């Protein structure tokens, strides 16, 4: 399988083997592209996952049960369920 690795000013051709299935989901639209291990590509529409960047543990977490921390009346920091 050939893939393009894109940087802002450089493009490399990369060849590799996919050991399993891989999928990409556009969070804002819910468009999913699945790359199967046999080389087929499946495009479909899904409900996008609700995630947010946790400002305390510095990782993407589920939006459910998290909370915003307000700074001067404005929601500035978001904490996940484990960090709040």
What residues does 51 pair with on adjacent strands? 62
pLDDT digits (tens, 9 = 90+) for 68-82: 888 788 878 889 999
Closest-CA residue to 18 (of 42, 41, 39, 44): 39
pLDDT for residue 41: 93
Residue 2 has pLDDT above 70, yes or no: no
Q: What span, in angstroms and rounded, lies between the C-alpha atoms of 51 and 32?
A: 16
Domain definitions of the chain by residue range: 19-48, 50-84
- In this prediction, residues 53-59 reach a mean pLDDT of 91
CA–CA separation, 4 and 6 (whole Å): 6
Rounded to an integer, the average pLDDT of 10-35 is 76
Name the nearest CA neighbour of 63 among 38, 80, 43.
Answer: 80
């Amino acid at each position: 399988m050939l893939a393009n690795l894109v940087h802002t000013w450089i493009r490399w051709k990369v060849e590799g083997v996919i050991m399993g299935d891989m999928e990409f989901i556009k969070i804002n639209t819910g468009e999913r592209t699945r790359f199967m291990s046999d080389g087929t590509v499946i495009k479909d529409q899904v409900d996008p996952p609700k995630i947010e960047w946790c400002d305390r543990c510095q990782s993407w977490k589920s939006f459910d049960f998290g909370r915003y921390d307000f700074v001067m009346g404005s929601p500035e920091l978001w904490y996940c369920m484990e960090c709040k």
